[in-house]
Amino acid sequence: PKVEHHRPASTGGLPVESAMEADKCNSFWDIPGMKAGVITGDVAWNLLRFAKAKQFSIPAFNCTSTGSVNAVLEAGRDLQRPVIIQFSEGGSAFFAGKSLPNKDKQASILGAVAGAQYVRGVAAAYGIPCLVHSDHCAKKLLPWFDGMLEIDEKFFKATGEPLFSSHMLDLSEEPHEENIAICVQYFQRMAKINLILEMEIGITGGVEDGVDNSGVSNDKLYSTPEEVWQVYEALSPISEKFTIAAAFGNVHGVYKPGNVVLRPELLASFQEHAEKKLGREKPLFFVFHGGSGSEKDKIDAARKSGVVKMNVDTDTQWAYWDGIRKFYKAKEGYLQGQIGNPEGEDKPNKSYYDPRKWMREAEVSMRDRVKESCMDLKNSNCKEVVIVGWGPVGHTFLSKLLEKGKGKFSCTVISEESYPAYNRVKLTSFFQHRDPNALSMSSLEWCVKNGVKLIFGRAAGINREAKSVEICIQGADSKCTVTYDELVLATGSKPFVPPTPGLDVTVPGVHVYRTIDDLFAITERAKTAKKAAIIGGGLLGLEAAKAAYDLKLETHILEMAPHLMPVQLDAEAGGMLKAKVEALGPIVHTGVKILEIQSGETGVTGVKISEGGQEIVLQVDMVICSAGVRPRQELAEAAGLELGSRGGVKVDGQMCSADPHVYAVGEIASLNGGMCYQLSAPGYTQAEVLAEKLSDPSAKTVFTGADLSTKLKLLGVDVASFGGDSDFWFKRQYMCDDASVVKNLVAKDEGGGKYKKLVFSPDGKKLLGGILVGDISDFTKLTAVTKRPDIGGVTPEELLAGKMPKVEDGGDGTNLGDDDLVCNCHCVKKSVIRKAIEAGAHDFAEIKKCTKAGTGCGTCISTGPQPKLLAFTLNKLGVKKGCCPSLPFDAEDIEDLAKARQIKTYEGLLDDVGYAPAAAPSDQQALGGVLDRISGKPKGEGMDHVSQLKALSADLWKFIDKVNCNPILLRLAWHDAGTYDKSKTAFPDRGGANGSIIFDPEINHGANNGLNKAVKYLEPFKADYPLVSWADVIQMAGAVAIEHCGGPKVAMKYGRKDVSGPEGCPGRQSRGTADNAGLPDAFAGGNGQYACGATDPSTHLRNIFYRMGFDDRAIVALSGAHTIGRAFKERSGTVAEGYGEANACPYTKAQPRGCPIRHDQKPGVGMPGGKSWTTKWLKFDNEYFQDHVYKETDPNLFWASTDKALHQDEEFKKYFMLYREDQSAFFADFAVAMKTLSELGAEWEPAEGITL
C-alpha cells in the first residue's frame, strides 16, 4: 500500500537556492527535496552538510534483522531526527540467512539489497529521513561491493536514484597509495549515480569487519594531515560527495575507555591543514568509527571537528541482548516450559515465550540505546535545561525530567559542591564510614551515561534577557557562560547563624552542619577538641549532636524552646526525648538564651548562656551551629526575580517563577509566595510536578502542599510525627488540648522510653496525625490511616493499642492498600513497588533504581513494609533469590534489617520481614552464619585461633574487593609497625606492630591523618574474630590489600600481642622526629630541615629506616608501594588536590577515564580526588619506577622529595633502576621487606608465632 507522509511545516528556514546554502537552513526539513523515507544524492549530501554546520552527527547503526531496523527507525521517529541504517558484509549475509552459500559473497549481496529494499518499504511510515549505507568493505570483500554497486546502477536507471545512499570502502590494510587509487576507480562509477563514498584511511576496522589488526604498528592508529589531504586531492575532482574515516585512535574492538587513547584533536588539525590550502572553514567531512564505548568528551570534540556520522555497533548489540536478558530475568518462572508457571502447574506460557514478546523487548532496549547515541551526538530537537544545584531535589528533578522527557532535553547541571548529589538526610551516618560515596545518590558515570553536562562551579549571575548563567569554575581562576531555554533553581538552603556575639564561622572551632565539607572540618577539629556545644535542639541540631557524640566529644545541646524538637513534638514527647538523649550521654539544656561565644588564640573556648535565670559559661572547644536554615536566594534576588514573603523564589503550583522560563524547586521554592518547605519529601514532589510540566506543557499537575510527616533516628532514639495534611502542623493540632477541635489519646511507657500520641477529629472517626517516640514501627500504617476518610471500623482506643483497620493487602502482610504509600520521602505507592518487582526489580537496589523507594531516609526498607512486600511478591512469581525462599534477601541485607529492627531470631525475621508460607526446616541451616551474627554471636565463635585467622583472611579479601580500600589498609599496617626503634628493647616502648595505632593520641598524629577511617573499616572484623589481636588484624589487612591489587603474597607470621591501651602509644617526639612518631616526611620543613634534623631527603630516609633495621635495598623496595595510593590535601597538605571530583587530577577522577583501573581491569569505586604517584593506583606493579613517573614529565603525578631521592642518590638508584627493569625482583624484595616490617617490635604468642 502507498504510504502518504508529509514533512512537518518549515520552522522558518531560509530559502535555499543552491546546495552550498544548505548549512543556512534552520531545520533539516528546509533542505530542498527533504522527505520522510530513504534519501539519496543531493538531499542526503545536503543533510550531512547541514549536520556539520550545526555541529551534530548522525549515528549509524549496523542492523542484521528487520527488528533491529525497526528499532532504529522507531528511535528516529520518537526524536523526529534523521538516522543512518547500515549493513556490514557479515550482517548482510545474516539478513539473507546464514544457511545460504556465500563463497562469492552472493548471500551478502542478497542480504544487503534485501535490507535496503526493506528500509525503503517502511522508512517513510516512520516520518523521518533515513540514509541506507553499507559498512566496511576490505579488499577481499570487493565482490560484495561490486554486487551492490551493480544493483545501484540498475536501480538508478529505473528510478533516477541509487538503491543505497552511500557505501564504504575500507582498504586501510593496503598501502596508502593503493587505497586511494582503488577508491578513485570506484568513486568515478559512484559519482555517475549520485552515491556518497565513505573512505577509510589508517586503522579503524576490526575483526567483525573482516579486518585483522593484530600486530599493527601504532602509527596506523593515527592518520596525518598529509594523508588526509592526499585523499581530498584525489577524490574532490570527481565529486564533493565523500567522507573520510580518518584514524585518531578509534579502532574497533577497543570498547573500554582508556585502552587506546582517542585523539579527536587530530581531526581539528586535519581541518586546519585543509583550510590553509582551500581558504574555507572546515572543508572536510569526517566519520567516527569505533564509537561504542568512547568517552563522551571525545565524542563532543570529534563532533565539533566536522564528524557528520558516527558508527555505533557494540553498544546496540548489547542493548538488543539486554532487553532479552531482562525479560528472561523478570519472567523466568514462566519460561521453563510450555505449561506450568508460578500461577499454577497447568497454566500456559505461550504469551511469554512467543518470539514477538521477547523480540519486542530487544527492540525497545535497542531503541532506547539508539536515542542515547542521538543525544550524545546532539542529533535531537532538545531544549536546553540548566539546573543550578545538584542536591537531592535537583538530582531528583533531573532524573525525572530525563525519564519523562524521552530525549526532549539537553541538561546541564551546575554543582557548587565537589561531590555527586548526596543524601543529606543520612549526613550524620558519614561519621560511621567517612566515605562520601556511601551518601551518594548519583555518580559522574550516571551523568555521562545520560548525556548530562556537569559543571563544578558557582553560579555567579543570571542574565534573564540573554537566558544565560555565568559560572565561576571550581578550582580555576576562570568563568564560563551557559545558555538555557529553561532554568531551574535548586539552590536549597544555607545554615542560619544567629547574630550572637562571637558566633563567627571564621573563628577556629565554630562550624555549621550542612555539607560533607562541613563534616570534614568538624572531624579535623575533633582530633584536638574535647567538648562541643550544639546550638539548636531541632531536627538538625540533634543530627549535629549525634555527630559530636560519635566523635567522642562531651556534648551539650542548647535549645531556646522549652523542649526538644518544638516544631514536631509536644512538650511531653519532647521531655521523654530529652530523657532518652541524656541517658546516652549528651547534656541537654532547654529554655536557654545564648549570650556569647568566647574564643582565644586556639579558637573557641566557651559558650556563655542564661539557664534557669543564671548565667553560666560552658567550657567547650567546638561549637556547631545547627539552628535552622534559610533559602539560598541571593542568585535569584540579584536577577530580579520576585521573592516570597518569608524568603525564597515565589512560584506557582507548577513551580514557575515570575519569569516564565525560570523555575524553582526544593527549599528555595516559596509556594505562592508563602511557605518554603525545608524537608526532602516536598522537594521530591515538586521535582515530579516540574518534570511533568516541562515534558508536557499541557499537564495540569500542580503542587498544592505537602505531607510533613517525618521519621528519624536521633542519637539512637526513633522519633516520628505524622499527619494527614499540613494543618496538623500549621494549625498545631499536635499540641492542641481543645476537645472541640481534637481528641487526644496518649500511651506511654516511661521505663521503656516509649511515647505514642494519636490525634483524632473530635468525634474520633478520623485520625488526624500523631507523635511516636521510641517505637515507630507503626509509622507507615498509621500514616496511611490518616489519608483515609475514617479509621476503618476500629475504635480510637484500639488504634492506640496497636490494632489496625483491616485493609485488603493482597495477602502480602503489609496491611496496606495499593494506593497507600510505602515510601513517604518519594511518595511511592505500594502498587508501584509491586509492579517494579514483577517487572524484574528483585532486590532493594533494583527497586531503588526503578522507583526511588528507599533512597531517602531509607526507613521504608530498614523498619518499613518494603521487605515483606518483596518477599511475598518474589514467592508469588516463583523467583528464587537470596538465602532462602522465606527470606529472599542477601545475607548482608538480612543482617541490616535485623539490626535496624533489633531482631535476634529466625522467628522474628520471618514474622517481621519474611514470607512465612515459604518457611522450611532447611532455612535455618541456610541462614546459619547470619543467625549467629544477628544473635550477637561473633563469626569466629567456636573456632580456634588458626581457624579465625584463616576466616579473617577470606573476609578481608571480600571486603577489599568490594570497597577498593587497598591503599589505606596498607598505610595503616605500615604506620602501626613503622614506629619501631631498634635502639629500644622493652615492649611496647620500642614501638612496632603492636596495635597501638588504634588509640589516641597515636591515631591523631599528623602522619596518621585519615587512618581512623581504616580503623573503622576493621572494627567489625576484630569483633567477629576476638582471638585475633588488633596488631594481627592490621598487618593481615595490609598483606591482603597488596595481594588483592596484584602484588606479591607476603609470608606473614601471626600471633602478635597488642598493647594494653593508649599508654602503649609512642609519644609525638619519642623517636626524635617531631610530630610524626618516627615516620618519614614528604618534604623538608620551612627551615630546610626534615623532622629528624636531616637537611637532605636521602639522609632523612636513612635516619628513619636505619632506625628500624632496614638497608638501602629495603628502603627502595618499600618505597615502591607508592605504586598504589594517593595523597590528599586534607590529609597531608603536600598536594593541592583534595576530596571530590572537582578537586581531582586526571588519574583520580571518576570520569572520563573511569580511573583508577584495578589489576583485574575493573574500575575502582573509591572517592574521587587527591593526587596519585602512578596512573593506575589500585594496581600493584613496578610503574612507580618507570620513566614517565620519576622523570616528572607528567604534572598530574605526585613526586615528593623523598621519592626523588630514590633515583638521585647513587646507592638508592641502583636498586631503583633494577626494579624498573625487573618487576619480579621488586616483588621478591618487597615481600621480604614487608614481612620484616610487619614483625618489627612485635611480641608473639605463641613465641614462635603462627604461620598459615
Strand, coil or helix: 780: helix
| Best CA proximity match to 722, nearest among 663, 676, 681 | 681
Q: Which of these is catalytic: 78, 135, 923, 1081?
A: 135
Residue with cell 535555499: 16
Cα–Cα distances in angstroms (integers) from residue 769 to residues 724, 788, 826, 847, in the given order: 6, 12, 20, 29
CA pair distance 285, 470, nearest whole angstrom:
34
Q: What is the dihedral of CA 940, 943, 946, 949, to 10 degrees?
A: -10
Q: What are the C-alpha distances in Å from 278 to residues 22, 265, 761?
A: 20, 20, 84
Q: Name which of 641, 661, 663 is nearest 652 in CA terms.
A: 663
579 three-state secondary structure: helix
Which one-letter DSSP state was computed for residue 854?
Answer: T
Please give the Cα distance from 135 to 115 (Å, whole number): 13
Structural contact between residues 818 and 829, judged by C-beta atoms closer than 8 angstroms: yes
What's the residue count for the chain?
1252
Helix (H) or strand (E) holding 466: none
Q: State whether the Cα torsion 455-457-458-459 is positive or negative.
A: negative
Q: What's the CA gap between 216 and 804, in Å, rounded?
A: 73
CA distance 292 to 318: 10
Sequence-separated (6 or more) residues with CB below 8 Å from residue 912: 867, 868, 897, 901, 903
Q: CB–CB of 294/251 below 8 Å? A: no
* Residue whose C-alpha is closest to residue 129's, from 447, 499, 379, 347: 379
Q: Which residue has the cell 566536522?
A: 306
Torsion of CA 694, 695, 696, 702, to 10 degrees: -50
**Bridge partners for 599 per DSSP:** 604
Cα separation, 900 vs 934, in Å, equals 11
Task: State the Cα torsion 1049-1050-1053-1057 to the nearest 10°.
Answer: -120
Grid coordinates 647513587 are at which residue? 1210
Please tell me whether residue 1029 adopts helix, strand or coil conformation: coil
Residues contacting 911, CB < 8 A, separation 6+: none
352 touches 388 (CB < 8 A): no
AA identity, residue 549: Y
CA–CA dist 1153, 1161 (Å, integer): 13
End-to-end CA distance of the chain: 79
Strand-strand pairing, 662-664 and 717-723: unpaired
Active-site residue flag, 135: yes
Q: What is the chain's alpha carbon radius of gyration, rounded to the nearest angstrom?
A: 34
Buried (b) or exposed (e) across 411-450, using 16+ Cβ within 10 A? bbbbbbbbbbbbbbbbbbbbbeebbbbebbbbbbebbbeb
Whose CA is closest to 435, among 1012, 1181, 1053? 1012
With 0-12 / 13-18 / 19 or more C-beta atoms within 10 angstroms meaning exposed / middle / buried, residue 127 is middle
Q: Could you tell me which of 210, 59, 41, 237 has the C-alpha nearest to residue 141?
A: 210
C-alpha angle with apex 1136: 1135 to 1139, nearest 5 degrees? Answer: 95
Angstrom distance (rounded) from CA 305 to CA 293: 19
Three cell numbers at 603?
Answer: 579558637
Active-site positions read 135
